[in-house]
Structure 1
Amino acid sequence: MAAHTDLLARLASAVASAPEHESFTWRLCEATRRLLGADGASLTVDNASTNRITLCATDEVAARLENLHDVLGEGPATSAYLTGEPVVVTLAQAAERWPVFAESATRQTDAGQIYALPMRQGTAVQGVLTLYRRTAGPLAEDQAGAQFLADALAAALLHDADVLSDLGPGGSWSNRAQVHQATGMVVAQLAVGVRDALAILRAHAFALDQPLAQVAQSVVARELVFRRKDDG
């Protein structure tokens, strides 16, 4: 218990020392990254395929890794969310389970090892803390300490009102709403189900090497229109 109290005190101190102009979720994410000795970190919630939301990413590499999870619907963070268990893999190890994810991550980032920790409240998984290091190796805290921090983040995020303002206009909630709108438009354009429409958007995003939200924006703006073959 004393070790956990010390971790929380250090987390609070790190959050307080982060730039004040940044959002609370980013400061929380960055503070956790520093405590665990990772090169980058991200926080995602509601990781089910159609509702996954990235709350923050500390850098471009972390953002790219989350975009790959979003586009492909698979990877270490997805597995951690579904199983409720931490996933620690090098990209070489990831290739055995998620070859497309691993190949894309190797091509797009300089991450060497990924640590995906479920953010849990009791038996419920609320989201995932994903960290990466450029070189393989352990985090600054042992697995129990790292998992404790991830669970603490779940409690902090669910009970902090600032999260709602972090996801205001132009933020991740807006992006997700646009993805839902674009999915509905693809359903109408191709006469397919919602799951298939979302898969089509993800495939398009992957093929263009673009974030899913960017493809959704193009669909909503009617810059990208899907047509059935029998439509001409």
Structure 2
Amino acid sequence: MTIGRRFEAALARHSDPELAGPEALPQRLSRAAADLLGVDGAGLTLVDGAGRRIPLGGSSPDAARAERMQFTAGEGPCAAAEATGQPVFAVEEDLRRRWPLFADLLLGGTGFRAVVALPLRPGPAGPGALDLFFTRAADVAALDVFAAVAVGELVTSALSDAALWSTWTPAEGPGWLQGPAPRRRAAAWEAVGKLSVALDVDPVEALALLRADAYAAGRTVDEVAAELLDGRRSPEDLRPGG
């Protein structure tokens, strides 16, 4: 059976009613990718036209959490794959050496001990990456890299086809950009703008302040951003030296 047929079969196995809507397509694709490749988790992200990183969905709560950890740390294999356009293979030692902040969060907060990040060709909303997670570093060597690259192409094609055969506006994006993970991150970027204006700093510094606050508290940027937007936190709480 071809990889395409195997992927279709894996996708069919993850067609639960709660994943039927277009907004759940990335989660279904992530589950199918993890299933077919025999990995412990998978997640999809993209970088939009403004250079903002957006999670699309993960195969499991831990896979989704790992993406939020990368965004909080501001570093990690996925970001490296998106920036360079090259695959990234990282076991625990590599994670600690290259991305110590992310390694601290990932190794302390999940069971994952290795990551493979594969860049995805640009789709209708921008370039992205497929993250594959492993609970045993030794399992990275057993990954069928050819199959993983092919799955990445199939994932991009599925997202592109879904966008092509549906109606959407540039402001909102395709239906698969309306799921909980993209909406949560959209709120985080909104909080960056709010903090930038309130403290009269540029957006890069505002994001750095959110990241520092989240990391110090053992939380994620998405969580701190939600509190900032609903008034549970004040921008002054994040002012340097405040």
Q: Please, which moves more after superposition, 17-26 or 34-43?
A: 17-26
Structure 1 gap ranges (5+): none
1:49 and 1:121 map into 2 onto residues whose CA distance is 14
State whether residues 75 and 101 of structure 2, in contact with CA within 8 Å, keep that contact through their aligned partners in structure 1: no
Residues matched between the structures, number: 225
**1:200-211 alignment runs, 5 A limit:** 200-211=209-220
Match of 1:152 in 2: 154
Match of 2:233 in 1: 224
Match of 2:68 in 1: 67
**1:26-45 alignment runs, 5 A limit:** 26-45=27-46
Residue from 14, 17, 22 that aligns with 2:13? 17
Return closer, same or farther for 1:93/1:35 CA change in 2, 3 Å cut-off.
same
Shift of 1:121: 4.6
2:13 and 2:240 map into 1 onto residues whose CA distance is 57
Match of 2:56 in 1: 55
- SS in structure 1 at match of 2:15: coil
Match of 1:97 in 2: 98
State whether residues 43 and 131 of structure 2, in contact with CA within 8 Å, keep that contact through their aligned partners in structure 1: yes
TM-score by length of 2: 0.83
1:174 and 1:106 map into 2 onto residues whose CA distance is 26
TM-score by length of 1: 0.86
State whether residues 47 and 81 of structure 1, in contact with CA within 8 Å, keep that contact through their aligned partners in structure 2: no
Shift of 1:146: 1.1
Q: Please, which moves more after superposition, 145-154 or 78-87?
A: 145-154
The runs of 4+ residues in structure 1 deviating greater than 4 Å are 47-50
Cα deviations by residue, 1:154-202 (Å, 9 ceiling, x for unpaired): 222123137833433x723432332232112211221111110111112
State whether residues 91 and 113 of structure 2, in contact with CA within 8 Å, keep that contact through their aligned partners in structure 1: yes
Cα deviations by residue, 1:68-110 (Å, 9 ceiling, x for unpaired): 1111121111111111111111122211111121122111111
